[in-house]
Amino acid sequence: MKKTPFLTLEQVREIEKTYPTPYHIYDEKGIRDNIKRLQDAFSWNKGFKEYFAVKATPNPFLLEIFRDMGCGLDCSSYTELMMSEKLGVTGSDIMFSSNTTPVDEFVYASKLNATINLDDFTHIDFLEKCAGIPETISCRFNPGGIFTISNTIMDNPGDAKYGFTREQLFEGFRVLKQKGAKHFGIHSFLASNTTTNEYYPMLAKILFELAVELHDETGADIKFINLSGGIGIPYRPEQDPADIYEIAEGVRKAYEEILIPAGMDDVAIFTELGRFMTGPYGHLVTKAIHQKHIHKEYIGVDACAVNLMRPAMYGSYHHITVLGKEDRPLDHKYDVVGSLCENNDKFAVDRMLPEIENGDYLVIHDTGAHGFAMGYNYNGKLKSAELLLKEDGSVKMIRRAENPKDYFATFDFCDILA
């Protein structure tokens, strides 16, 4: 599959007149169309709701798109709850899924009447003491062991810090009922960034069977099953994307085989997708500013790991397009690097690209989730602007670039820049 940017060289040159590189830019039409596909794929379930994972791209202008299209928000911190409330998102439109949760976060989530998704058995008493047990509550399940989808895709729930064991979940439902909970949800997350179409149906089967057992043994009224996230995107051109329609059909079959015969045909299906919803619809646009010819060939760009840390942190692959040179041969081998005092500050290593000259614009693909959000300020570097390519083709700044005053604002001494 060829990766084609949603921006042209002409558009970037025009943007440069107002917003210098580097910047993250998001494709509004792409995001909206993807939300529509997800909702259409799961339309067989009357209660279906997507709770966009705020941590993936915590920008209120983007969150407003999800709100406008009937989605909820998945929050995991105090400030994410604040952002949601500011947008008018409260109550059951918020799923609060956190871990090692401080008191003030549970109190705030309770104040907003958010649906709280408990991560640990001990959090039941903790929540009761600080905020009370709500009538509707969810619990996160961790089955332990190794979760295997195929020979190449697996994850290790047994090594993850999240969730209740099976025994704790049954006891937790009983205890929560005694403390006043009336309606329940089940949540689980067993694999990350998988493009296989098998993951959600396999997870659904596990959770649907668990839901029937919980209902039968504890009498709990299970209102929803949250499949969480985990559906990934094809970062590499040779990867096939996940087919959300095939995924949803697999979940539907499991629903009809397990829940409907058990008389649980009113259970809503929730998702908490982040990367899948916005990842492909974000680019980091940067400019080549240096070339270095030593033991290897280097292209230095004006972005660095501060703007996108995934390659430095995980060795993750992000495809790169040199705008205006899309059809030229990939006959030059480069490391594409930033300016941090860290040797892992590399967007690409030994990447075959067309010949690059200073001033060329590079599009780094698939930065629409866990891109800007994971930014930091090492070396005193400042975070870039975020822009939105609107459906009408215009460009709107949705977060300005940081400046030195932002960097120094939290120091408790006289203004350095006064």
User: What amino acid positions are annotated as catalytic residues?
Assistant: 341
The residue assigned the tokens 């975020």 is 386
**How far apart (Å, rounded) are the C-alpha atoms in residues 93 and 289?**
45
Cβ 207 vs Cβ 227: under 8 Å: yes
φ/ψ region of 186 (left if φ > 0, alpha if ψ in -120 to 50, else beta) reads: beta
Among 417, 399, 402, 401, residue whose Cα is nearest residue 63: 399
Q: How far is CA 297 from CA 98, 168, 216, 257, 356, in A?
A: 44, 55, 64, 57, 11
Distance CA 318, CA 321 (A): 10
Assign residue 172 a region (left: φ > 0; alpha: ψ between -120 and 50; beta: otherwise). Answer: alpha
Specify whether the CB–CB gap between 157 and 147 falls below 8 A. Answer: yes
Q: What are phi and psi of 77, to 5 degrees?
A: -155, 170
Chain Cα centroid distance, residue 172: 28
Of 50, 27, 75, 66, nearest to 366 (Cα)?
27
356 Cβ partners below 8 Å, 6+ apart?
Answer: 288, 291, 299, 322, 325, 332, 334, 362
Residues 6+ apart with CB under 8 A from 154: 146, 147, 148, 191
Apex 92 CA angle, 98 and 165, nearest 5: 40
Task: Return the H-helix or E-strand segment holding 53.
Answer: strand 49-53
Helix (H/G/I), strand (E/B), else coil: 23: strand
**The pairing of beta strand 332-337 with beta strand 320-322:** unpaired
* Dihedral sign for Cα atoms in the order 49, 54, 57, 62: positive
